Amino acid sequence: MTLQTSDFDYELPAEFIAQSAVEPRDSSRLMVLHRETAHNAPHIEHRIFRDLRDYINPGDVLVLNQTRVIPARLHARKPTGGLIEVLLLEKIMDRRWLAMIGGRNVTPDMRLTLQDANGEPATSLQIVEVRDGSQRVVEFEAPIEPLLDALGEMPLPPYIHTPLSDPERYQTVYAHTPGSVAAPTAGLHFTADLLIALQQHGVEIAYCTLHVGPGTFLPVRAEQLADHTLHAEYAELRAEDAQRINAAKLRGNRVIAVGTTSVRTLETAALRSAGAAGEDVCPWRPVIAIAEHTTLFITPGDRFRVVDAMITNFHLPQSTLLMLVSAFAGRDLIRQAYETAKQTGYRFYSLGDAMLIL
């Protein structure tokens, strides 16, 4: 069956889109979605996120994406004085970045000026290459990282209209490696106390890194899913974390991915492992250490090789994230869960509530 992008559409009134995060972090609501029960029928529970311990067993591995969001939104002036927006996407080399430019007539070799809070010139950049759409390769006159905290803004999704009072609220408590332009939002529900409680319960923690780009959250424009290509995002899984995950699978414990970014990193690492022969008879495939760009696009019908359960948020219509969770739980079950979420007042999108899919 050919999957259409329209198969993943749904109506969501604006009042369901969370404009601010709840406090404390682990007081958000948690929908627990059981894909199968003793009667082979799906089941939904309504809990609070801090109840997560009730569903994770000692020896299970929780995989967290430790990427950190950078203040990637910059404001610059053209030589004519016009203001434009520069959204940094990925560092290419020392002073060169791939960026998305919000403005017209931004041509090769044009030099743009970044200003400080007082309106004084702080540094400049030059357009060195034109890429698809609004993407450009830019080169700064000096490394931009030391200036980002002073000149940059946190790149909140366009559906969030309330400014953050504290930029750290758009970071996970375990954020470590800078590089994302959007938060891995499933992880925003964790507190340090909850993570400690889970470890005391016997749950193991493993980390991965996937630097989230804006393409992850954009609606799919192609009519058919087969015609869509996901933007490449840097993914990394260290050898010690891969060993921890494989050991859990060997002893019969579960691997629980926190967020679709962790899912894609783990499934990419499983695809890269050697010994594909016998895959059809083995219920899972080991993961190996990786450090690469992934374009893995998971849609219904795809096989999950390592992930047993998933923590995620409620996603935008026609997004690749909604397609991934539909692949994991089934399109009809996800549609049912989202309708239940609307009927019972769950908060949607990046700063909203969570779902645990078992």
Mind listing the pLDDT tens digit for each residue in 324-334?
Answer: 999 999 999 99
Identity (one letter) of the amino acid at 30? L
Q: How would residue 2 be classed by pLDDT, with cut points 50, 70 and 90? A: confident
Rounded mean pLDDT, 194-199: 98
Q: Give the pLDDT score at 119.
A: 76
pLDDT of amino acid 333: 95
Specify the pTM: 0.92
pLDDT at residue 199 greater than cutoff 80: yes
CATH 2.40.10.240 range(s) for the chain read 73-151
Residues of the chain with CATH 3.40.1780.10: 5-69+166-357
Is the pLDDT at 216 greater than 80? The verdict is: no
What per-residue confidence (pLDDT) applies to 217? Answer: 60
More confident residue, 100 or 58: 58
pLDDT at 279: 54
Query: By CB neighbour count within 10 A (0-12 exposed, 13-18 middle, 19+ buried), where does 230 fall?
Result: middle
CA-based nearest residue to 224, from 1, 5, 42? 5
What type of residue is 291? A
Angle, helices 320-329 vs 331-343, to 10°: value is 110
What DSSP designation does 82 have?
A: -
Pick the CATH number of 73-151 from 1.20.1260.10, 3.40.50.300, 3.40.190.80, 2.40.10.240: 2.40.10.240
Counting residues of the chain whose pLDDT is more than 90, the rounded percentage is 78
Q: In what order do the strands lie in the sheet containing 290-294? A: 43-48, 29-34, 354-357, 309-313, 255-258, 61-65, 204-210, 233-237, 290-294
Closest to 18 measured CA to CA, from 34, 33, 29, 2: 29
For 285, the token pair is 């495939």
pLDDT of residue 105: 82
User: What is the pLDDT averaged over residues 133-162?
Assistant: 92
Residue 168: Cβ within 10 Å count: 11
Average of per-residue pLDDT across 110-135: 89
Is 80 exceeded by the pLDDT of residue 41? no
Of 117-121, 195-199, 223-227, 243-247, the one with minimum mean pLDDT is 117-121
Least confident range of 277-281, 298-302, 345-349: 277-281
Is 60 exceeded by the pLDDT of residue 183? yes
CA 97/CA 142 separation, integer angstroms: 12
Q: What is the DSSP string of 230-276?
A: PPPEEEEE-HHHHHHHHHHHHTT--EEEESHHHHHHHHHHHHTSS--
How confident is the model over 253-280, as a mean pLDDT?
A: 86
Q: Which residues 6+ apart lie within 8 Å of 18 measured at CB?
A: 160, 347, 348, 349, 350, 351, 352, 353
Residue 218 has a pLDDT of 66
Q: What does the pLDDT look like over 282-325, one tens digit per residue?
A: 678 999 999 999 999 999 999 999 999 999 999 999 999 999 99
What CA dihedral angle connects 109, 146, 19 and 214, to 10 degrees? 40
pLDDT band at 339 (very low <50, low <70, confident <90, very high): very high
The topology (CATH level 3) of 5-69+166-357 is QueA-like (3.40.1780)
**pLDDT at residue 1 above 90?**
no
